[in-house]
């Protein structure tokens, strides 16, 4: 098809492109350089995805090393210092290189412009720079591993982080660069959503993933600079001996906790809000029903972003802050659960009496709801002033954190990868293997982390290298569960990679989605669309009909009779 006029969302006519039948963003330019210097948001999204999954593999190795060491009391694999370095690297890699950038940078970069009917993000060069900032930060983290890995934990708590002889400054600078990557991505998304929507695409015709990414971008821009400044202050204290956080120099270590958690608790929502957006896309498609309570879900994302800035103090209940401050932070902590609950009830209402299809993306979305509920409900105990005194810094916190971040964010991320995989690469994966891998991941996850709730209630401290024999049974269950989960992830990697070579060609709309990205070919052409789609309700499935001969859904401009 030649000579198609493509108009971008600002109304400016773009140069004519000649699209061959097989021309798409994957084949438009070949060679490694065409990928490393690309300005195409889709290729940048794929680059992010490859990097993040590689980081996940590395972080997972450290997780298995930790669980192997804890299989039995005493030394099993490494000494105490090496163990401290393992859990520091595991936490830093998973938080800064996987969970935070995962959905916004990889999936968001790929689908956000298409969901808006745009040909790219607002600032393509800044988009590529954001990717290389993330890679540069990771390089500094690798250097710190070689020169003496940090042993502080991923929170870098003072005063220990100011006096340890390990390479804390190197990994801190890496985290600083990663923070800039997050800020640039958030800025790019905000401008893109405001100014590059297709003509006629109003705010309440946007997919809910866009609302989630918009709220996330607000947090990225406002909260991440606080972390950057805090990390620079800690580096300055280590190198120049300035007394900011070290009490021996007149500093206040609790001040570091306030600075750190003022960013890091909103960062929880940098992680969870995009995951909620992904789930909001998957559930209505596989329930064959319009999303229930669209505006409530949309505005709840904004509410979470706002309230999330006000609850950081619940991490400091036992740090000596006043009783009044504790009461205020406890009340706000309960309040932030309300908009999250709004989303959950609306998802359940969407599924009620729906024609539910249990394909792999839907299985991960359902697991998100269950595991996130467990994480949220156990968070009530940690938000309670009296209960937190006993549970603080125990394995109960570890389990709660992983049910929220891994059971929530990571499950949604994997579900999103499966959901948009045919669109990204034009190939279908093996559905049977997808379901088997999901079962292994789900069972392995619960076997790993549920026993940790029981350990925490009985007083088992987190981050300890050794432990009393009474906790050995729980640790054995956790270790076995970790390896079961690893098998599930390896199986997932196998069939996804295999699909790139042997997978069946993917139709434009294999799942029956109604948002813009499902109205272009799989994989999409270089400019995303051969013509900009007409803006409609992204959850209107009445205009979709199943075409059996091509195994895809076809979009009709008018709803079929009957």
- Looking at residue 249, its pLDDT comes to 85
- Give mean pLDDT in consecutive 10-residue pieces for the chain, a chain of 562 residues: 33 36 79 92 96 96 96 93 94 94 95 95 96 96 90 92 92 94 96 94 95 96 93 93 88 93 89 95 95 95 92 90 92 91 95 94 97 94 92 95 94 97 96 97 97 96 94 96 97 96 92 92 91 87 79 69 52
Question: Could you tell me the CA-to-CA distances from 213 to 76, 108, 209 in Å, in that order?
Answer: 43, 8, 6
Separation CA 286–CA 199 (nearest Å): 29
Separation CA 352–CA 517 (nearest Å): 26
- Looking at residue 14, its pLDDT comes to 35
Separation CA 159–CA 398 (nearest Å): 22
Q: What six digits make up the tokens of 92?
A: 């830093």
Separation CA 487–CA 375 (nearest Å): 24
- Looking at residue 550, its pLDDT comes to 73
- Looking at residue 12, its pLDDT comes to 33
Q: Who's near 561: CB < 8 A, 6+ residues apart? A: none
Q: What six digits make up the tokens of 247?
A: 């009490």
From the list 414, 416, 417, the residue with the least C-alpha distance to 445 is 414
Are the beta carbons of 513 and 27 closer than 8 angstroms?
A: no
Q: pLDDT tens digits, residue range 145-191?
A: 888 889 999 999 999 999 999 999 999 999 999 999 999 999 999 99
- Looking at residue 429, its pLDDT comes to 96
- Angle at Cα 406 formed by Cα 403 and Cα 411, nearest 5°? 110
From the list 255, 543, 212, 125, the residue with the least C-alpha distance to 409 is 212
Q: What six digits make up the tokens of 121?
A: 């993000």
Helices (H) and strands (E) in the chain, counts: 19, 2
Give the 3-state DSSP-derived string for 358-391, with helices as H, strands as E and coil as C: CCHHHHHHHHHHHHHHHHHHHHHHHHCHHHHHHH
Full-model pTM: 0.92
Cis omega before residue 279 (within 30°)?
no
Q: pLDDT tens digits, residue range 258-311?
A: 999 999 888 888 899 999 999 999 999 999 999 999 999 999 999 999 998 999
Spell 68-104 as b/e; 16+ CB within 10 A means b. bbbeeeeeeebeeeebbbbbbbbbbbbbbbbbbbbbb
Q: Who's near 145: CB < 8 A, 6+ residues apart? A: 89
Are the beta carbons of 132 and 115 closer than 8 angstroms?
A: no
Separation CA 229–CA 224 (nearest Å): 9
- Looking at residue 552, its pLDDT comes to 76
Are the beta carbons of 315 and 266 closer than 8 angstroms?
A: no
Question: Could you tell me the CA-to-CA distances from 259 to 158, 227, 230, 234, 313 in Å, in that order?
Answer: 12, 7, 6, 11, 10
- Looking at residue 216, its pLDDT comes to 95
């Amino acid at each position: 098809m030649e000579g198609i006029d493509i108009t971008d969302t600002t109304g400016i006519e773009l140069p004519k492109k000649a699209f061959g039948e097989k021309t798409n963003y994957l084949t438009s330019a070949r060679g490694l350089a065409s990928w490393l210097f690309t300005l195409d948001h889709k290729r940048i999204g794929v680059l992010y995805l490859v990097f993040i999954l590689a980081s996940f593999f590395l972080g997972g190795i450290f997780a298995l090393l930790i669980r192997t060491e804890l299989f039995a009391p005493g030394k099993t694999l490494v000494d105490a210092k090496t163990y401290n370095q393992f859990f520091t690297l595991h936490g830093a890699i998973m938080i800064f290189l996987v969970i935070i950038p995962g959905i916004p940078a990889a999936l968001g970069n790929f689908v956000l412009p298409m969901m808006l009917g745009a040909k790219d993000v607002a600032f393509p060069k800044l988009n590529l720079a954001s990717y290389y900032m993330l890679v540069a930060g990771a390089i500094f983290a690798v250097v710190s591993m070689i020169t003496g890995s940090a042993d502080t934990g991923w929170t870098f708590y003072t005063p220990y982080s100011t006096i340890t002889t390990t390479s804390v400054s190197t990994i801190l600078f890496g985290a600083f660069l990663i923070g800039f990557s997050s800020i640039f991505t958030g800025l790019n998304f905000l401008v893109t959503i405001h100014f590059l929507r297709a003509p006629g695409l109003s705010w309440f015709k946007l997919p809910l993933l866009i609302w989630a990414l918009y709220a996330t971008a607000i947090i990225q821009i406002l909260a991440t600079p606080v972390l950057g400044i805090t990390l620079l202050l800690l580096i300055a204290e280590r190198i120049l001996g300035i007394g900011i956080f070290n009490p021996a120099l007149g500093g206040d270590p609790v001040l570091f906790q306030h600075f750190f958690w003022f960013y890091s608790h909103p960062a929880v929502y940098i992680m969870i809000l995009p995951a909620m957006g992904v789930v909001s896309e998957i559930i209505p498609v596989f329930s064959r029903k319009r999303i229930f309570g669209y505006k409530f879900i949309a505005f709840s994302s904004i509410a979470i972003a706002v309230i999330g800035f006000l609850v950081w103090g619940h991490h400091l209940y036992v740090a000596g802050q006043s009783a009044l401050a504790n009461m205020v932070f406890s009340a706000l902590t309960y309040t932030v659960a309300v908009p999250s609950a709004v989303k959950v009830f609306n998802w359940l209402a969407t599924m009620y009496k729906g024609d539910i299809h249990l394909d792999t993306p839907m299985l991960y979305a359902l697991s998100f709801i269950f595991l996130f509920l467990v994480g949220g409900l156990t968070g009530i105990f940690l938000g309670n002033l009296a209960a937190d005194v006993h549970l603080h810094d125990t394995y109960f916190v570890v389990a709660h954190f992983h049910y929220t971040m891994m059971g929530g964010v990571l499950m949604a991320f994997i579900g999103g990868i499966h959901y948009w995989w045919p669109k990204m690469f034009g190939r279908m994966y093996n559905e049977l293997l997808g379901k088997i891998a999901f079962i292994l991941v789900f069972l392995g996850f619960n076997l790993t982390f549920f026993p940790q709730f029981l350990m925490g209630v009985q007083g088992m401290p987190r981050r300890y290298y050794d432990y009393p024999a009474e906790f050995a049974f729980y640790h054995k269950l956790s270790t076995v569960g970790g390896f079961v989960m690893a098998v599930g992830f390896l199986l997932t990697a196998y069939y996804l990679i295999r699909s790139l070579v042997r997978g069946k060609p993917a139709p434009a709309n294999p799942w029956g989605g109604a948002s813009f990205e499902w109205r272009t070919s799989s994989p999409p052409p270089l400019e995303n669309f051969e013509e900009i789609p007409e803006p409609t309700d992204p959850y209107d499935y009445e205009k979709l009909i199943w075409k059996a001969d091509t195994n895809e859904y076809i979009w009709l401009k008018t709803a079929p009779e009957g």
